Amino acid sequence: MHEVITLALMDYLKSEDFRITLYLVRKSPLTMLGMTLTISLILFAILAPYIAKQDPIEQDPSKRLLPPSPEHPFGTDQLGRDIFSRVIWGSRISLTIAVIVVAISFSTGTVLGIVAGYFGGKVDELLMRITDMFMAFPRLILAMAVAAALGPGIFNTVIAMAFVSWVYYARLSRASTLQVREEMFVEAARAIGASNLRILFKHILPVTISPVIVQATLDMGGAILTAAALGFLGLGVQPPTPEWGVMVSEGRRFITEQWWVSTFPGFAILLATLGFNLLGDGINDILNVRSRR
């Protein structure tokens, strides 16, 4: 089995398609930057125990609010915890939340959108009405309300965010599906008797996937930002879990004298989100250029 996959992969890597893609990626320094940031984030999350040796949760009041130093590159917070460790470990939290949220909303939303777009009729109407209702709210506001209703905690945060995000994928995939459905080759496939399921997989899915992938990448950034916002407001992950938004909020009281407590976690949010946004933008440009051939 994996020989087949390896062969297919090698074939692709040698193909002109791949070389053009690589060329386009190399040509865009912003996309490269995005990839670097994103990969770094993932590495930090995976290798957290090795990079951040100091315990992110253990408190040491004697070391309260120390400024940045070689021992504590980002300083310490009001409970004596090393901020550098907390930021590194925080990448795990943010990344995990983002991945789960995007995975859930991506899969449910895309499937629902494709089904609604393909079969049309009442199913489609229903989906449109429901998504309309969701989209009447600014995203974060809705997430906040649901989070408030569910209560704090990482699990509830994930549910609240996924509950709010799926609609955008549904709309996107529905729009693509509608476009493709009218294309000649789908009519042709139906004419030779291909089953609906087969048409969905072989024809519709490949086309609808690419804008959705761009959206998913950008959404990773959005999810990190949203999780941080919820944390900042006290609705999301709870202390002592080292979540970046919570850390910014905790450091607010000390901003005048101990600026580092809020600054570094916030900067981490910025870089992580920026990485995904650059990557998503780059993928978007590449896909657009290629399809215009």
Partner 1 sequence: MLLEIRDLKVIFHTIRGMVRAVNGVDLMLNQGEIIGLVGETGSGKTVTGLSILRLLDQNAEIIDGKIIFDGRDLLKLPMNEMLKIRGKEISMIFQEPKAALNPVIPVGDQVAESFMVHERITKSEAKKRVIEMFNRVELPDPERIYKSYPHELSGGMAQRVVISMALALRPKLLIADEPTSALDVTIQAQIMDLFKELVRQFKTSVIYITHDMALAAEISDKIAVMYAGRIVEVAKTEEIFEEPLHPYTRGLLRSIPDVKRRMKTLFSMPGEIPSMLNPPPGCLFHPRCPDKMEICERKVPILKKVDEHEVACFLYG
Partner 2 sequence: MDLRTYVIRRFILMIFVLFGIVVITFVISHVIPADPIGAILGPQASPELVEKIRREWGFDKPLHEQFVDYIFKLMKGDLGKSIRTNNPVVEDLLYFFPATIELATSAMIVAIAIGIPLGIISAVKKDKWPDHISRIFALVGVSMPVFWLGLILLFVLYYKLGIFPGPGRLDPGIPEPPRITGLITIDSLISGNFKALLNSLWHLALPSFVLGYYASASITRITRTALLEVLNQDYIKTARSKGLAERVVLFRHALRNALIPTTTVIGMTYGSLLEGAVLTETIFAWPGLGRYSTGAFLSVDFLAVMGTTLLIALIYSLANLIVDILYAFLDPRIRYA
Assigned token pair, 172: 């996107």
Does the footprint of partner 1 cover residue 289 (CB under 8 A)? yes
The answer to whether residues 174 and 127 touch, using CB atoms and an 8 Å cutoff, is yes
CA distances from 214 to 8, 150, 208, 278, 281 (A): 24, 30, 11, 11, 7
Q: According to CB under 8 A, which one of 32, 42, 99, 140 is a site residue for partner 2? A: 140
What residue spans of 47-153 are helical by DSSP H?
48-51, 83-119, 121-135, 139-150
- The residue count for binding partner 1 (CB under 8 A) is 4
Q: According to CB under 8 A, which one of 101, 102, 114, 144 is a site residue for partner 2? A: 144
- Would you say 21 or 238 has its CB closer to partner 1? 21
Does the footprint of partner 1 cover residue 23 (CB under 8 A)? yes
Q: According to CB under 8 A, which one of 211, 229, 239, 287 is a site residue for partner 2? A: 229
Does the footprint of partner 2 cover residue 65 (CB under 8 A)? no
**CA distance between the termini of the chain:** 34
Residue 271, Cα to own-chain centre: how many angstroms? 13
Does the footprint of partner 2 cover residue 102 (CB under 8 A)? no
The answer to whether residues 181 and 134 touch, using CB atoms and an 8 Å cutoff, is no
- Would you say 24 or 175 has its CB closer to partner 1? 24
State in angstroms the smallest separation of the CB of 142 from partner 2.
7
- Would you say 200 or 279 has its CB closer to partner 2? 279
Does the footprint of partner 2 cover residue 210 (CB under 8 A)? no
Does the footprint of partner 1 cover residue 126 (CB under 8 A)? no
The answer to whether residues 21 and 282 touch, using CB atoms and an 8 Å cutoff, is no
How far apart CA 82 and CA 64 sit, in angstroms, is: 9
Total count of residues recorded for the chain: 293
Three-point CA angle 272, 278, 283, nearest 5°: 130
255 binds, among partner 1, partner 2, none (CB under 5 to 8 A by kind): partner 2
Beta bridge partners of 82: 76
110 binds, among partner 1, partner 2, none (CB under 5 to 8 A by kind): none
State in angstroms the smallest separation of the CB of 97 from partner 2.
15
State in angstroms the smallest separation of the CB of 12 from partner 1.
19
Does the footprint of partner 2 cover residue 51 (CB under 8 A)? no
The region that residue 137 occupies, defined by phi over 0 for left and psi between -120 and 50 for alpha, beta otherwise, is beta
164 binds, among partner 1, partner 2, none (CB under 5 to 8 A by kind): none
How far apart CA 286 and CA 95 sit, in angstroms, is: 25
Only segment of 19-27, 191-199, 221-229, 246-254 that touches partner 1 (CB under 8 A) = 19-27
How is residue 241 annotated by DSSP? S
> Which run of H or of E encompasses 273?
helix 260-292
Where do contacts with partner 2 occur on this chain (CB under 8 A)? Answer: 30, 129, 132-134, 136-142, 144-146, 148-151, 221, 225, 228-229, 232-235, 245, 248, 252, 255-256, 259, 262-263, 266-267, 269-270, 273-274, 277-278, 281
Where do contacts with partner 1 occur on this chain (CB under 8 A)? Answer: 20, 23-24, 289
